[in-house]
Amino acid sequence: TQLLEQSPQFLSIQEGENLTVYCNSSSVFSSLQWYRQEPGEGPVLLVTVVTGGEVKKLKRLTFQFGDARKDSSLHITAAQPGDTGLYLCAGLSSGTYKYIFGTGTRLKVLA
Amino acid sequence: DSGVTQTPKHLITATGQRVTLRCSPRSGDLSVYWYQQSLDQGLQFLIQYYNGEERAKGNILERFSAQQFPDLHSELNLSSLELGDSALYFCASSVAASSNYGYTFGSGTRLTVV
């Protein structure tokens, strides 16, 4: 069974703090995406990483794809209450061509 | 607005009933995916259609069925509803049959079975 394990599962931090969310698998992925989902809404695609070692920045968010394309991380600098939500990684498995969602990280940023 | 339209937004129905959820994909997208998300749970893949044909099946119950029409909109039919079917149902779309660049999600249909 292919899994994308995210850690931590829950995170509650103060406004202005930095944080990192991890997404790990034992399988290789041809690409990985990160989504943010707010309560009652659908996930919104934030970024796609395709190349091993790739780093992408989106304002205060930095995304990295592992060299072996088995893991990814999301780093948020100076978190704001508007960053609150469920963060999901997802990817297309290189072997099975199945699209798999991670277990999710629920972030709460307190003002 | 993501470009993926789901109707209705909310649905309340009784156990044993049947409902139909509708999804219009983003313009130009040929693939439609259906997901179920229960309270505080992850996204469970149900089924995918590509250009009118069933492409992949996930954890979809036999009481559930779906189809994609020639105009590419899709419907998810849920029958003999049980309390445990209460969840958010999301539709997503992509251009290709297997997307290396992620999906575009609709805002979901919240189904409550009472």
**B50 CB near a chain A CB, below 8 Å?**
no
Average pLDDT score over chain B: 94
Nearest beta carbon to residue A92 from set B43, B45, B98: B98
Beta pairing class for B109-113 and B10-13: parallel
Taking the Cβ of residue A44 and every Cβ of chain B, the question of whether any pair is shorter than 8 Å is answered with yes
At residue A2 the predicted structure's pLDDT band, cuts being 50, 70 and 90, is low
Report whether A65 contacts A72 (CB < 8 A): yes
- Cα B18 to chain centroid, rounded: 15
List of chain A residues whose C-beta atoms are within 8 Å of the C-beta of residue B21: none
Q: Is A90 on the interface with B (CB under 8 A)?
A: yes
Q: Give the pLDDT confidence score for residue A90 in this predicted structure.
A: 94
Residue A1 above 60 pLDDT? no
